[in-house]
Amino acid sequence: MRAIIYSCPLMKLRVGLGFDSHPFEKGKPLKLGGILIDFPMGLKGHSDGDALLHAVADALLGAVGEPDIGELFPDTDPRWKDVDSVLFLKEALRRVREKGYRLLNLDCVILADQPKIAPYKDSIRKSLSELLELPVECISVKGKRREGFCQEEGLACLCTLLLVHEG
Ligand SMILES: [Zn+2]
């Protein structure tokens, strides 16, 4: 039975789940998925507050059993103050590749009453495609409003992704 399980090709697959949320902060640029969004508030956080990149980095790390970005890049460390979150994503991707895995697809949800995500969806997908070196067809970004639940005080991002072992 054990041999059958380990010879199954599905054992080469790993799923990752990411979640992140930040409150808004006036006067800070809003970054999501590595691009600037035209909005009067950014996301409060030790880094640039890019909640989407944080969620994707955590999903990558989680899929291969690595510590999350909160452990790798603690907000008590001044080195990560106002840092571009691309750095977190690149480190997560490096660890995934080091373990022999390749990203197959990424599906994201941005939960926000404001700003409207629809006008930025294609730019965010393109940015993620370049950062992750993954075809844009393998990336989905959806904006969802919370319809009155915890509205207007910040935003949250969720994502799931699939990895395959190249070996
Ligand atoms: Zn975050």
Model confidence over 101-141: pLDDT tens digits?
999 999 999 999 999 999 999 999 999 999 999 999 999 99
Contacts 24+ apart (CB under 8 A), 49-52: 49/22, 49/25, 49/85, 50/85, 51/20, 51/21, 51/22, 51/155, 51/156, 51/157, 52/20, 52/108, 52/110, 52/124, 52/157, 52/159
Would you place residue 75 in the very low, low, confident or very high pLDDT band (cuts 50, 70, 90)? confident
Would you place residue 6 in the very low, low, confident or very high pLDDT band (cuts 50, 70, 90)? low
Q: How close is the Cα of 56 to the center of ligand 1, in Å?
A: 10
Q: How close is the Cα of 147 to the center of ligand 1, in Å?
A: 23
Provide the whole-model pTM. 0.92
Q: How close is the Cα of 70 to the center of ligand 1, in Å?
A: 8
**Residues spanned by the domain of 72:** 13-165
pLDDT at 146: 78
Q: How close is the Cα of 98 to the center of ligand 1, in Å?
A: 24
* Mean per-residue pLDDT over the chain, rounded: 92
- Count of structural domains, the chain: 1
Q: How close is the Cα of 8 to the center of ligand 1, in Å?
A: 36
Integer-rounded Cα radius of gyration of the chain: 17
pLDDT at 98: 97
pLDDT at 82: 86
pLDDT at 151: 54
Give the pLDDT confidence of 37-72 residue by residue, as tens digits: 999 999 999 899 999 999 999 999 999 999 999 999
Q: How close is the Cα of 29 to the center of ligand 1, in Å?
A: 15
8 pLDDT exceeds 70? no
Considering the domain boundaries, does residue 3 fall inside one?
Answer: no
Q: How close is the Cα of 97 to the center of ligand 1, in Å?
A: 23
- The CATH number linked to 120 is 3.30.1330.50
Considering the domain boundaries, does residue 2 fall inside one?
Answer: no
